[in-house]
């Protein structure tokens, strides 16, 4: 019976798995998972983090392109390497709005259904 309970699906089929880095077919890297968790657990519609705060959360430096190009934050690149961070805010139902001069990013709550969820 214990095996059956482990395999049991969540009672709400529209919910993401508790740990999206372990979800079947997940593209989020373990590096970006702490950023996902942080953003997902915030109730505020906008969360502003400095580049240094993001680096502290994920434990690695942001790529140089993240400091130089707004597109790195706003245009998901399907061909990017697995260490990309975009999945962390996309799965947390947020959009990134960088201020490169101030070295901050505002992660704003997106409208509409969360990625990976079906509308009810």
Helix (H) or strand (E) holding 99: strand 94-99
Q: Does any domain span residue 33?
A: yes
Q: Is residue 38 part of a domain?
A: yes
Between 13 and 93, where is the model more confident?
93
User: What pLDDT, on a 0 to 100 scale, did the predictor assign at position 47?
Assistant: 97
Which pLDDT score is estimated for 116? 54
Assess if residue 75 is contained within a domain: yes
Please state which of the ranges 36-45, 77-86, 91-100 shows the lowest mean pLDDT: 77-86
Does residue 2 form part of some domain?
A: no
Please report which confidence band the pLDDT of residue 1 belongs to, taking 50, 70 and 90 as the band edges. low
Contacts of 36 (CB under 8 A, 6+ apart): 20, 21, 28, 87, 88, 89, 91, 92
Average pLDDT of span 69-96: 80
54 belongs to a structural domain: yes
pLDDT of 17 strictly over 50: no
Q: Which of 11-20, 96-105, 109-118 has the highest mean pLDDT?
A: 96-105
Alpha-carbon distances of 6 from 1, 15, 48, 102, rounded to whole Å: 9, 17, 37, 46
Q: 72: which 2 tokens?
A: 């790195």
The answer to the question of residue 59 being in a domain is: yes
Per the structure, the complete domain to which residue 63 belongs is given by: 29-109
Q: What confidence score (pLDDT) does residue 81 get?
A: 54
What's the Rg (C-alpha) of the chain? 15
Is residue 17, in this structure, part of any structural domain at all? no
What pLDDT is attached to residue 16? 44
* pLDDT at res. 99: 97
On whether residue 67 sits in a domain, the answer given is: yes
From CA 25, how far away is CA 66, in angstroms rounded? 26
d(CA 51, CA 68): 12
Q: How many domains does the chain have?
A: 1
Listed in sequence order, the DSSP H helices in the chain are 2-7, 33-40, 51-58, 64-68, 70-74, 86-91
Joined tokens for residue 12: 């709400």
The predicted structure's pLDDT at residue 87: 86
């Amino acid at each position: 019976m214990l095996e059956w309970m482990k395999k049991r699906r969540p009672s709400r089929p529209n919910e993401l798995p508790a740990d999206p880095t372990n979800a079947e077919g997940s593209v989020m890297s373990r590096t970006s998972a702490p950023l996902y968790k942080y953003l997902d657990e915030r109730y505020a519609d906008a969360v502003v983090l400095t580049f240094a705060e993001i680096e502290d959360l994920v434990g690695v430096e942001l790529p140089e392109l993240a400091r130089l190009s707004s597109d790195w934050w706003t245009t998901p690149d399907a061909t990017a390497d697995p260490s990309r961070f975009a999945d962390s805010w996309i799965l947390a139902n947020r959009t990134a709005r960088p201020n490169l001069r101030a070295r901050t990013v505002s992660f704003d709550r997106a409208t509409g259904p969360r990625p990976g969820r079906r509308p009810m």
